[in-house]
Amino acid sequence: MTGPNDDSESVEPIDAEFEEKPQEERSAPADSALPDWLVSLPDQLRPYAALARLDRPIGTWLVLIPTLVALAYTRIPTGFYWIDIWWQVLFAIGAVVMRGAACTWNDITDREYDAQVERTAKRPLPSGEVSVRNAYIFLAILLLIGFIAWLCLPLDAKVVALLAIPLIAAYPFMKRITWWPQAWLGFTINWGVLVAAATALHVSFATLFLFFGFAAWTVAYDTIYAMQDEEDDALIGVKSTARLMGDRVIVGAFSFYVIAGAFFAAATAVTGATRIGALAVIAFLVHTIWQVHTLNRDRNTALMVFRSNAWAALILLVGFTLAALI
């Protein structure tokens, strides 16, 4: 869900610690993408896999693919190096672990509100499968793994990566005070673009075009994601761009897709990968046109369109990778 705002004092808090429920009462959250896989896990692991969103890999792809795009983009003038395989492994570990840590932190702060939304009520914290104390312990474990991966980065990349921590920590609270939490998420979830650039070479002016493009892209797809919870969010006072845009939400989402495409085109022109880059950006925009053409107010359709953004990012990854290789 998107999170509460300051006008939601009427929400009754739930206990900070939960009594664990019997295993037979447990089931996968309603928005799980891999419910059969999730419920097949051992009882001790299942709630923590759900807490880290391992049953919903789309979020990991939306973190990882832009990072890989940035690495390929940085290598367009020079081609790839063997060391890039190692960087890609580190980025993959970081995407899984830090995404899981961010989701865990988000669920800790939003547990009182998730309990009131049908789509999120069966998540581990509001359902009582995981206590708040154990959630904090799990968060610490994820951060420790992320710290080990962070130690393997070059110095410049270490510094850039650290700058993301305040963004991640503040994100759940941004959803309570602004109609634009999706914009904050855009800068947060795509910070790996800057980390990848700093790892490969440095954060250049051209890389910022790429970063702002992915940030606009995130505003678009997370607005689509937020369409699932508009009614519940309105009842409990949660702000989002989906609610802000109202009946014009589809046009609004597409507008940010166009902005993203413009930034991607500018980044392509600056780095000199005009032909292949232009084809990749055009294909990206064609995919977004399909998205808004398919989109409607149905929750399942909104979720399906949201998930398709992994393919939109993959188009850019293939294009920039070919440009670097050629």
Per-residue pLDDT reduced to its tens digit, 115-131: 777 777 778 888 888 89
Asked whether 124 and 86 are in contact (CB, 8 A), the reply is: no
Instruction: Check residue 14 and give its pLDDT.
Output: 37
Listed residue (125, 117, 127, 122) closest to 230, CA to CA? 117
Name the percent of the chain lying above pLDDT 90.
58
Separation CA 28–CA 315 (nearest Å)? 31
pLDDT band of 26, cuts 50, 70, 90: low
Listed residue (217, 301, 213, 223) closest to 264, CA to CA? 213
Instruction: Check residue 115 and give its pLDDT.
Output: 76
Per-residue pLDDT reduced to its tens digit, 147-180: 999 999 999 999 999 999 999 999 988 888 999 9
Rg (CA), the chain: 20
The domains of the chain, with CATH numbers, are 40-325 (1.10.357.140)
Instruction: Check residue 265 and give its pLDDT.
Output: 94
Instruction: Check residue 3 and give its pLDDT.
Output: 43
Q: Which amino acid is at 237?
A: G
- Cβ-proximal residues to 170 (8 Å cutoff; 6+ apart), any chain: 184
Say yes or no to pLDDT of 98 above 90: yes
Separation CA 132–CA 24 (nearest Å)? 21
The three-class DSSP label of residue 64 is helix
Per-residue pLDDT reduced to its tens digit, 237-256: 778 888 899 889 999 999 99
**Mean pLDDT, all residues of the chain:** 86
Q: Which amino acid is at 125?
A: L
Length of the chain: 326
Q: How many CB atoms lie within 10 A of CB 156?
A: 15
pLDDT band of 320, cuts 50, 70, 90: very high
Q: Which amino acid is at 222?
A: D
Category of 272 on φ-ψ map: left (φ > 0), alpha (ψ -120 to 50) or beta: left
Separation CA 133–CA 129 (nearest Å)? 12
Listed residue (201, 177, 180, 225) closest to 62, CA to CA? 225
